[in-house]
Amino acid sequence: MANVQAGVPPTDKALDVEREGPRPRSDLSRQRLRSAWLFLAPMLLVLALVAGWPLVKTIWFSLTNASLSDLEGAEFVGLRNYWEYVDYGDGEGEYFGLLFDPQWWNAVYNTVYYSVISVAIETVLGLVFALVLNAEFKGRAFVRAAVLIPWAIPTIVSAKMWAWMMNDQFGILNDMLMTLGIISSPVAWTASPDTAMWAVIIVDVWKTTPFMALLILAGLQMVPGDVYEAAKIDGIHPVKVFWKVTLPLIRPAILVAVIFRALDALRVFDLIYVLTPNNTQTKSMSVFAQENLFQFDKFAYGSAASTLLFLVIAFITLFYIKIARLDLGGRGN
């Protein structure tokens, strides 16, 4: 948390609010100030305990030789978990540590691959869903309700439901595709190295497209209707209106949705852990870290992986806050 806090300049608006500060204060406003901090204290204390301190400890563990059975006896070892050169003498040696671990880079590759593909598909599909939901037709309320269902289903349940549908022997997906003649023999979707990642992506797209669609729909509904009327009067083709008018107007909404989803996708854990357990083709950074922390008894090494993932996400968050230029000062009183 400390990194994020120190790295971000407050937005211009927030600064304005603060600069309004030093005007003559009455007893009343002093009383309000005091109660402001009183009101904030419990929330801040909980956040410091549940987020700030554990984050500091995770980073600390990544610089030690801690093991699951001996957390108290952890000793500082510097950056050895990240980067270490072991000299064998005679000019020979080898690099060790997270940054030289092919399994870690495999997890990085999987995570990035998964994030880019799934977010891209979700954006396109979400846009289609949003355009449909934005049109007026009979039964729109029903469709909107139906679209929300995948979002409401717990990730673990989605993973299990799809694991069953994708079952190689008894799954309905193979049955469907074979009936349609798309595949000739059953596919072991979640187990086969060629399809495991696509299985994960399919389930994620199914579960998260509604969320994407809702965020884009909110953007679509802010486009004033007279824009479309003007285009209609000018006789402009609807496809051209979409590319030249609608899309540029909802670009900010799409951008925000994409970044939120990307941040979520980069920390993926549940879906991969349950749908494709112990599969090198799908292992994400979070799964890699969790395994090292609690299954391989490499607590310090897992902490180092957690720390690196945190840095990546913190960096993207800063980027997001910068481009979104959030209205943090607000109107207030």
Partner 1 sequence: MPYAVKRTGFYALVVLIVLFSIFPFYYAILTSLKSGTALFRVNYLPVDFSLANYEGVLTNGVFPTNILNSVIVAVVVVAISLFLAVTAAYALSRINFAGRGLLLLTILAVSMFPQIAVLAGLFEMVRWAGVYNTLFSLIFAYMIFTLPFTVWVLTTFMRDLPIEIEEAAIVDGASPFTIVMRVFLPLMWPALVTTGLLAFIAAWNEFLFALTFVSNNSTRTVPVAIALLSGASEQEIPWGTIMAASVIVTIPLIVLVLIFQRKIISGLTAGGVKG
Residues from 121 through 150 that contact partner 1 (CB under 8 A): 128-129, 132, 135, 137, 139, 142-150
Binding segment for partner 1 among 26-34, 77-85, 192-200, 229-237 (CB under 8 A)? 26-34
Burial class (CB in 10 A: 0-12, 13-18, 19+), 168: middle
Kindly state the smallest distance separating residue 94's Cβ from partner 1, in Å: 27
Quick one: tokens of 121? Answer: 């598909």
Q: H/E element holding 37?
A: helix 27-47
Which of positions 283-322 make contact with partner 1 (CB under 8 A)? 285-286, 289-290, 293-294, 299, 302-303, 306-307, 309-310, 313-314, 317, 321
Residues 197, 205: Cα–Cα separation, whole Å: 12
Kindly state the smallest distance separating residue 227's Cβ from partner 1, in Å: 21
Between 92 and 265, whose beta carbon lies closer to partner 1?
A: 265
Between 86 and 183, whose beta carbon lies closer to partner 1?
A: 183
Residues 93, 8: Cα–Cα separation, whole Å: 41
Rounded-to-10 torsion of CA 36, 42, 43, 44 = 80
Nearest residue to 303 via CA among 77, 60, 73: 60
Binding segment for partner 1 among 79-87, 94-102, 151-159, 224-232 (CB under 8 A)? 151-159
Between 231 and 268, whose beta carbon lies closer to partner 1?
A: 268
Between 86 and 128, whose beta carbon lies closer to partner 1?
A: 128
Which amino acid makes up residue 14? Answer: A
Nearest residue to 67 via CA among 309, 307, 302: 302
Binding mask 160-199 for partner 1 (x = CB under 8 A): xxx-xx-x-xxxx--x------------------------
Which of positions 216-275 make contact with partner 1 (CB under 8 A)? 217-218, 256, 260, 263-264, 266-267, 269-270, 273-274
Instruction: Among 121, 153, 177, 255, indicate the residue that binds partner 1 (CB under 8 A).
Output: 153
Binding segment for partner 1 among 76-84, 101-109, 225-233, 323-331 (CB under 8 A)? 323-331
Q: What are the distances in angstroms from CA 14 to CA 98, 145, 192, 327?
A: 40, 38, 52, 8
Between 35 and 94, whose beta carbon lies closer to partner 1?
A: 35
DSSP state of 99: G
E strand intervals along the chain: 84-89, 92-96
Which of positions 50-79 make contact with partner 1 (CB under 8 A)? 50-51, 53-58, 60-61, 71
Instruction: Using alpha carbons only, give the angle 158, 160, 164 rounded to the nearest 5 degrees.
Output: 115
Kindly state the smallest distance separating residue 139's Cβ from partner 1, in Å: 8
Is residue 107 within 8 Å of 114, Cβ to Cβ?
A: no
